[in-house]
Amino acid sequence: MNMGSGSVPQLKGARRFSYEELEKYTNNFSEANGIGSGGYGKVYQGNLSTGKMIAIKRAQRDSMQGGHEFKNEIELLSRVHHKNLVILEGFCFDQAEQMLVYEYVPNGTVMDSLSGKSRIRLDWMGRLNVALGTARGLVYLHEHANPPIIHKDIKSTNILLDESLNAKVADFGLSKPKVETTQVKGIPLSRLNPNAESASTSELLRKPASEMHHVQKHQQS
């Protein structure tokens, strides 16, 4: 049997990146590569030598978790795959840093689209598609992932839009600012706090004024 490198199965899981690699991919974590920041820390865009783009979340000191916990969560989340969930490409646990490496999702967040910050305009069907995609991603986490994962932080900045404007849910489990919110395990839905951001998420399903006359026409006929 030919077991040359070309015929050996190439397994795709989250991989380990060295600090130097990520430094190189982000131009030494330059401001120009910065794409945002959240409770976990700064987020940078990086380009792999293959041309693939990645988003790197660099934990600030107070967001770091114990090494054992970081490792367990990466092992768990790297097994989670669904077309409506952002892929965890890898991690860096080097030089006293904790970084999470995700696929780069090119069309910004739903918040950016709704607020007009990005140039992405979602028409009514586009919005429904995003809502459905988000729901499918969450159903997968709740009912098909083993063990189940409850997101606990669903909001419009955690729903990203891919090149076809499909929803990609981000930040399930990992990369939460507080230890208490980083646990990846099922908790009863009844114990979840209503999220302060749900107002802006429900904005997604407010029909744009430009399309209201279609609804009115339907209602009249």
Ligand X SMILES: Nc1ncnc2c1ncn2[C@@H]1O[C@H](COP(=O)(O)OP(=O)(O)OP(=O)(O)O)[C@@H](O)[C@H]1O
User: Which H/E stretch holds residue 161?
Assistant: strand 159-161
The 137-166 contact track toward ligand X, x by CB under 6 A, reads --------------------xx-x------
Q: Which of residues 7-66 bind ligand X (CB under 6 A)?
A: 35-40, 43, 55, 57
Using CB atoms within 10 A of its CB, is residue 109 exposed (0-12), middle (13-18) or buried (19+)?
buried
**Is position 89 an interface residue for ligand X (rule: CB under 6 A)?**
no
Q: By C-beta, is 52 or 214 nearer to ligand X?
A: 52
- The verdict on whether residue 178 carries a ligand-binding annotation is no
CA neighbor of 154 nearest in space, from 57, 84, 206, 99: 84
- Contact window for ligand X (CB under 6 A) among 3-11, 24-32, 99-107, 211-219: 99-107
* Strand segments (E) across 13-59: 15-16, 34-37, 41-47, 53-59
Q: Which of 94, 112, 123, 153 is catalytic?
A: 153
Among 73, 171, 173, 174, binds ligand X (CB under 6 A): 171
Which residues are known catalytic residues? 153
